[in-house]
């Protein structure tokens, strides 16, 4: 892995993160309101699942 790969990954992250606010800011606000009501345990579980899925996808792509 080199610095260029890391830069590409971060750029793609920013593109994907910007899609929902660009398309539907109202939905983003509702989603954030829902997230703030969730229990910490649920958020941690979602974060763990996201990390595991990302690791699997990275391994699969590489």
Would the pLDDT of 30 be above 80?
yes
Q: What DSSP string describes 4-39? A: HHHHHHHHHHHHHHHHHHHH-HHHHHHHHHHHHHS-
Residue 40, SS3?
A: helix
Q: Rounded distance, CA 20 to CA 35, Å?
A: 15
Q: What does pLDDT average to over the chain?
A: 93
- What are the structural domain ranges in the chain? 24-62
Would the pLDDT of 43 be above 80?
yes
Residue 51, SS3?
A: helix
- Regarding pTM above 0.95, the answer is no
Would the pLDDT of 51 be above 90?
yes
pLDDT at 20 (0 to 100): 93
Q: What is the mean pLDDT of residues 47-58?
A: 94
Q: Rounded distance, CA 3 to CA 34, Å?
A: 36
């Amino acid at each position: 892995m080199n610095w260029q790969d890391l830069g590409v990954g971060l750029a793609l992250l920013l593109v994907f993160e910007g899609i929902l606010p660009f398309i539907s800011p109202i939905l983003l606000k509702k989603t954030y309101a829902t997230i703030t009501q969730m229990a910490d345990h649920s958020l941690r579980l979602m974060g763990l699942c996201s990390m595991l899925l990302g690791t699997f996808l990275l391994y699969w792509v590489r």
